[in-house]
Structure 1
């Protein structure tokens, strides 16, 4: 296959996802992040002010590896992102539990889009899937958002598909219609790689949506003028999608960057959402785009991502193309072992550590 390392200009990422907090105010029983071991850390306001390269980014997603709104300076942070990148489309990804008052006002003033990982809109479902949270507060926040929402703001609600949540999809559609929200996104549930005491039973993830059920849901959403998105709606369609991914050129390492904060409070730099590149960075390094966007690791990935003969140097992209992330643990682990991909702390390791200071 042709090497596509120079297929796109790489002066800056077009899309950036940046984690500003690793602290969460809620405990979802299906979450893959072990919050019991978190060393709390928040992205410093001064760090954002030093990221002058943000002006070149077209799309920014502000999120948490816990919850973005737990940041004690959230209002100043979101305002600074808008100041540093005045022309970008900015999205807040949140569980919505703290989206009220000043934090809501700051979000409405500075964001183009809000994605709320809602997951439940009735008490029975909420009790089944949440270890800690507050449904009444969450629902009140949605009401306040609907009241203050400007016409240009795009609002998306999402839910993880589990046996416990699938029956509530019509309620989500009704709520979105009532509040003039734009989209409901259905996300396939995946058994967390790390285990913890309050996790969902494995049976919760054994779910396959029948084609006729999906068609009925889609028709109901269309009638309500709500977009319903589910990229892997039918198993057969998912397999076709996987085939297209194997055959297509991947543009992610040329267009996307994620600045991620792990439970230890370390900054990790990734170039897709499919796996860890092994890059850790000091907070000071976040102001240096060249180090983040053109280091030796990302150059290796760009040189091999679309070159099947070079995958032996790049097990991350090999795994992405050949191993379905929704396989069960046993099948996935057999595949990782076949590719000689090591496991550390229950997570695959694709590269040696690279530290950027």
Structure 2
């Protein structure tokens, strides 16, 4: 290994994994068991998502929170429960602190991150945020110093007018300034983390701004620009009847790609961004077969603020489906329980593992008008 590679590993904190061969082995074993679709697992998941709060300060058009029939129990996970759950996952590689809520609504968010960093010094800790509470509940410096490895800001617009339509907030400029402030604090403190990214979900009222989203994000100097996302679940899409035609969307995706390539923007050009025509030619077929490639019952789990083990990241509430509760039953018992083994076998056989999957993965999402 060259000196340059050694220096890169040391700067990225990747060297910590050299001290944890058990973590590396668990990931290797997990990948093997996923590849052969084993039903009883020796490995533990390498990625977990803990929804530290399901409260939010916005009411975005595309969020399930705006469904009139969706009334989940709201609350924040206590620091004690958070640590009790993390102690059950000493070998994870990735911890996400976001679910259907705004993570910065948690009054002890910085303490949550610090606890996670203390218990999992080798892990990548990340979260998604609307960014509007930076400077109000938490200073940018607090966020940067907390130990979080990645923070991704949800933009969904390139102008204040469109932001107000889709996110129902007139604080677009606050979002832009808060992204800048995190980047500035990171530079001022001479820190390499957190890695800063932005996201954009395509809807009726914003799809034409996808190219400008890339231009704006590139001008801000973020580390990562997520490709414009197509909503892949019918749970939360509430943007009215779809008005985007296939041809319109393909043209916008082409232009977005051209902008990204021209600017050298840090946006992955893959999947429907690389070949939108090919993707949408088999759109319905691709969506209906999506569940066959599901990985969530093997290496990626979701836990709500009350300790419930949820179905997957697209599944809205434990009240509709859950596998158990980690504050009541040790995860190791739940992980190879009869219901979870049966669900893995169902996926292996090409069947739905649970009834709610018909509303998350099987139905084509309602983004296109044709």
Residue in structure 2 matched with residue 298 of structure 1 by the alignment: 340
Q: Is the 8 A contact 1:22 1:67 kept in 2?
A: yes
Q: How far, CA to CA, are the matches of 1:190 and 1:246 in structure 2? A: 10
| Partner residue of 2:140 out of 78, 101, 104 | 104
| Partner residue of 1:6 out of 38, 63, 66 | 38
Residue in structure 1 matched with residue 267 of structure 2 by the alignment: 228
Q: Deviations over 1:34-88 (max 9, x none)?
A: 3884543101100122121232111111114221110111111111111121111
Judged with a 3 Å threshold, the aligned counterparts in structure 2 of structure 1 residues 304 and 320 are, in CA distance, closer, same or farther, namely: farther
Match of 2:57, SS state, is coil
Map 1:173-188 onto structure 2 (within 5 A): 173-181=214-222, 182-188=224-230
Q: How far, CA to CA, are the matches of 2:323 and 2:349 in structure 1? A: 26
Residue in structure 2 matched with residue 20 of structure 1 by the alignment: 52
State yes or no: 1:256 paired with 2:297.
no
Residue in structure 1 matched with residue 124 of structure 2 by the alignment: 89
Q: How far, CA to CA, are the matches of 2:200 and 2:242 in structure 1? A: 17
Judged with a 3 Å threshold, the aligned counterparts in structure 2 of structure 1 residues 251 and 30 are, in CA distance, closer, same or farther, namely: closer
| Partner residue of 1:66 out of 72, 77, 101 | 101
Task: Report the Cα offset of residue 106 of structure 1.
Answer: 3.9
Match of 2:179, SS state, is helix
> How many positions carry a matched residue from both structures?
318
Map 1:135-150 onto structure 2 (within 5 A): 135-149=172-186, 150=191
| Partner residue of 1:216 out of 250, 255, 269 | 255
Q: How far, CA to CA, are the matches of 1:246 and 1:64 in structure 2? A: 21
Q: Deviations over 1:86-116 (max 9, x none)?
A: 1111111111111347453343231221121
| Partner residue of 2:327 out of 274, 280, 284 | 284
Q: Is the 8 A contact 2:158 2:209 kept in 1?
A: yes
Map 1:290-329 onto structure 2 (within 5 A): 290-308=332-350, 311=351, 315=355, 323-327=362-366
- Structure 1: segments with no counterpart, 5+ residues: 330-357
Residue in structure 2 matched with residue 116 of structure 1 by the alignment: 153
Match of 1:160, SS state, is coil
Q: Deviations over 1:146-181 (max 9, x none)?
A: 212344543221111123212322332222222221
Q: Is the 8 A contact 1:32 1:192 kept in 2?
A: no
Deviates more, 1:72-81 or 1:238-247: 238-247
Residue in structure 2 matched with residue 242 of structure 1 by the alignment: 286
Q: How far, CA to CA, are the matches of 1:247 and 1:74 in structure 2? A: 33
Match of 1:185, SS state, is coil
Q: How far, CA to CA, are the matches of 2:300 and 2:128 in structure 1? A: 17
Task: Report the Cα offset of residue 313 of structure 1.
Answer: 6.9
Q: Is the 8 A contact 1:100 1:144 kept in 2?
A: no
Q: How far, CA to CA, are the matches of 2:203 and 2:324 in structure 1? A: 36
Match of 1:258, SS state, is strand
- Structure 2: segments with no counterpart, 5+ residues: 1-34
Q: Is the 8 A contact 2:234 2:363 kept in 1?
A: no
TM-score between both structures, scaled by the size of structure 1? 0.75
Q: How far, CA to CA, are the matches of 1:54 and 1:105 in structure 2? A: 29
Judged with a 3 Å threshold, the aligned counterparts in structure 2 of structure 1 residues 32 and 315 are, in CA distance, closer, same or farther, namely: closer
Q: How far, CA to CA, are the matches of 2:360 and 2:74 in structure 1? A: 30
Residue in structure 2 matched with residue 127 of structure 1 by the alignment: 164
Q: How far, CA to CA, are the matches of 1:313 and 1:27 in structure 2? A: 31
Q: How far, CA to CA, are the matches of 1:313 and 1:71 in structure 2? A: 33
